[in-house]
């Protein structure tokens, strides 16, 4: 990919039999998205989900979606 930032992060297997893998989202990404919606990074993390989109292309695309009052996605 051209004109993108790149950082390498360790992956961690979690959960029963290690079936889920976690990867960190760079703090710069959270800071930028929080600013876009007028929140602090801490508020943004509490109020939004990270959504992994994959399967129709190579790699994974992460987007963010606001939670409702029950912690569920609003869309």
The pLDDT value recorded for residue 74 is: 63
Question: For every one of its 75 residues, what pLDDT tens digit does the chain have, with 9 covering 90 and above?
Answer: 678 888 888 888 988 887 888 889 999 999 999 999 999 999 999 999 999 999 988 888 899 999 988 777 666
Spatial distance between the Cα atoms of 27 and 41, rounded to a whole number of angstroms? 9
Position 75 scores a pLDDT of 61
Place of tokens 């007028």: 38
pLDDT at 45: 96
Structural domain boundaries in the chain: 24-75
Is 52:60 a contact under the CB 8 Å cutoff? yes
Query: Whole-prediction pTM value?
Result: 0.74
């Amino acid at each position: 990919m051209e004109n993108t930032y790149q950082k390498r992060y360790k992956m961690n297997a979690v959960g029963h039999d290690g079936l889920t893998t976690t990867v960190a989202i760079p703090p710069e990404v959270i800071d930028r998205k929080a600013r876009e919606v007028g929140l602090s990074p801490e508020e943004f993390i509490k109020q939004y989900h990270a959504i992994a989109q994959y399967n129709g292309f190579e790699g994974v695309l992460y987007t963010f979606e606001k939670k409702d009052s029950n912690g569920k996605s609003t869309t």
